[in-house]
């Protein structure tokens, strides 16, 4: 029974273009994917981030901060990535950790959990990363002037439409 599921999982991942890593694909079930999507919806961040001081462009970047080490360990065991410590701003604060997944691994992970996501802003960002972002990224990092401008325009668009501001109240709704 387990073997049959494993073979089905490999076929399903290959069909949607996800590179299968022998470390984690065997323990990823639809329930685990739904749980991971809930974690990303609730606590996670789907974004673009510079990798270092010399990076010219931002790359796909997922983070899940938590005071529960078990939660970030769960994400690392099932999907890879790294776990880091977050600095406490006050002495009385609990120790905090962060799970980070970047580059192609982040895109593979988003492709897997996208059907289970519920939060509209994170769905919008995921769709942008899985659609437009993959079309404008050049694998060798050597961009023409037009490609460079397309990438900058995408980054501006990715961050400009965010819904972090409070919603405006609709006058048609009566209290």
Range 39-51 average pLDDT: 91
Reported confidence tier of residue 161, pLDDT bands at 50, 70, 90:
low
Range 17-37 average pLDDT: 71
Reported confidence tier of residue 9, pLDDT bands at 50, 70, 90:
very low
Q: pTM of the prediction?
A: 0.74
**Lowest-pLDDT choice from 46-55, 68-77, 116-125:** 46-55
Reported confidence tier of residue 159, pLDDT bands at 50, 70, 90:
confident
Burial of 126 per CB tally in 10 Å (0-12, 13-18, 19+): buried
With beta carbons less than 8 A apart as the criterion, state whether 64 and 41 touch: no
DSSP letters, 23-57, are: TTGGG--HHHHHHHHHHHHHT-EEEEE--STT--S
Q: Is the pLDDT of residue 133 over 50?
A: yes
Q: Which fold would CATH assign to domain 29-160?
A: Endonuclease I-creI (3.10.28)
Reported confidence tier of residue 21, pLDDT bands at 50, 70, 90:
low
Reported confidence tier of residue 66, pLDDT bands at 50, 70, 90:
very high
**What average pLDDT does the structure give for the chain?**
79
pLDDT of residue 112: 93
pLDDT of residue 2: 37
Reported confidence tier of residue 146, pLDDT bands at 50, 70, 90:
very high
The span from the CA of 44 to the CA of 99, in Å, is 9
């Amino acid at each position: 029974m387990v073997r049959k599921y494993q073979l089905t999982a490999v076929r399903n991942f290959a069909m949607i273009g996800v590179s299968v890593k022998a470390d984690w694909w065997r323990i990823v079930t639809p329930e685990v994917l739904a749980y991971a999507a809930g974690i990303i919806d609730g606590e996670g961040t789907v974004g673009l981030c510079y990798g270092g001081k010399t990076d010219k462009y931002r790359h796909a970047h997922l983070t899940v901060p938590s005071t529960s080490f078990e939660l970030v360990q769960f994400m690392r065991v099932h999907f890879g990535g790294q776990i880091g410590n977050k600095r406490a701003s006050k002495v009385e604060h609990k120790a905090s950790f962060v799970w980070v997944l970047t580059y192609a691994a982040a895109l593979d992970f988003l492709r897997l959990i996208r059907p289970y996501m519920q939060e509209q802003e994170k769905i919008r960002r995921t769709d942008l990363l899985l659609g437009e972002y993959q079309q404008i990224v050049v694998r060798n990092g050597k961009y023409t002037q037009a490609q460079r401008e397309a990438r900058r325009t995408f980054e501006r668009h990715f961050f400009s439409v965010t819904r972090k501001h409070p919603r405006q109240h609709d006058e048609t709704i009566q209290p």
